Amino acid sequence: MTQETANAYPSASTAVLLVDPYNDFLSEGGKYWPMAQKVAEEVQLLDHLRAVVAAARKAGIRIFFVPHRRWQLGDYEGFRHPTHTQLRTAKRQGFAKGTWGGTFHDDFQIQPGDILIKEHWNSSGFANTDLDYMLKQFAIERIVVIGMIANTCVECTGRFGTELGYHVTLVRDATAAYSREAMDAAHAINGPSFAHAILTTDELVAAFGHA
């Protein structure tokens, strides 16, 4: 870890964006867990998510929960331009509201001081939500994006954050995808084009220790 990295995350102006910590993604029995399980277990996703969140809380860094739209009856019907992902979500009833799959994993529950952002309809946690507004209200300048999935919602939220002027950090092993190729695309090919830092969990936790 460089000195620059060690000093990069002041607690007052840094936030962790925890994207889509739903049971459907993160838990045995979740609708999307079988697709993500291999990569998630390879990178020790759950352990690393726990470590980042715990380190952030210890350092006084605020956690923003950035959830995907929870499917409800009628979603996407009549849309002029639904994406293939949205149509698949409707077919699977992904993160269905009022179901176990559509609730947050037991280890990632909202605590006092956390911020719950409005649900995003597609991939970006910023588009059509209050994320940018709420970050500005808390004078956040640096965002660390973790959660699911590396090459879709995590990447898109990070890209959008860069466009809005935030300092963006990705964490290689605090996210997962449906294939190793998708992970490599997110971090080795696409990530360097917009992210200001791409770290491991150990590197980030050490940096938070300097906050």
Domain parsing of the chain, residue ranges: 21-208
Tens digit of each residue's pLDDT (9 = 90 or more) over 138-169: 999 999 999 999 999 999 999 999 999 999 99
Q: Is the pLDDT of residue 35 over 80?
A: yes
CB atoms within 10 A of CB 100: 12
Q: Average pLDDT, stretch 167-187?
A: 98
Which token pair is 86? 């949205």
Q: Do residues 52 and 170 touch, judged by C-beta distance below 8 A?
A: no
Q: Is the pLDDT of residue 5 over 70?
A: no
> What per-residue confidence (pLDDT) applies to 124?
98
Confidence of residue 115 (pLDDT cuts 50, 70, 90): very high
User: What one-character-per-residue DSSP string does the chain give?
Assistant: --HHHHTS--GGGEEEEEE--BHHHHSTT-SSHHHHHHHHHHTTHHHHHHHHHHHHHHHT-EEEEEPBPPP-TTTTTT-SS--HHHHHHHHHTTT-TTSSTTSB-TTS---TT-EEPPPBSSS-SSTTSSHHHHHHHTT--EEEEEEE-IIIIIHHHHHHHHHTT-EEEEEEEEEE-SSHHHHHIIIIIIGGGT-SEEE-HHHHHHHHTT-
CA 32 to CA 16: how far, in whole Å?
Answer: 23
pTM: 0.95
CA distances from 46 to 40, 190, 193 (A): 8, 23, 27
Torsions phi, psi for 15 (to 5 deg)? -135, 145
Question: Rounded to the nearest 5 degrees, what angle is found at the Cα of 128, between the Cα atoms of 122 and 132?
Answer: 115
CA 3 to CA 16: how far, in whole Å?
Answer: 21
| Amino acid in the structure at residue 44 | Q
Q: Is the pLDDT of residue 90 over 70?
A: yes
Torsions phi, psi for 82 (to 5 deg)? -70, 145
> What per-residue confidence (pLDDT) applies to 6?
55
Q: Do residues 50 and 177 touch, judged by C-beta distance below 8 A?
A: no
CA 27 to CA 37: how far, in whole Å?
Answer: 9
According to CATH, the superfamily of the domain at 21-208 is Isochorismatase-like (3.40.50.850)
Q: Is the pLDDT of residue 28 over 90?
A: yes
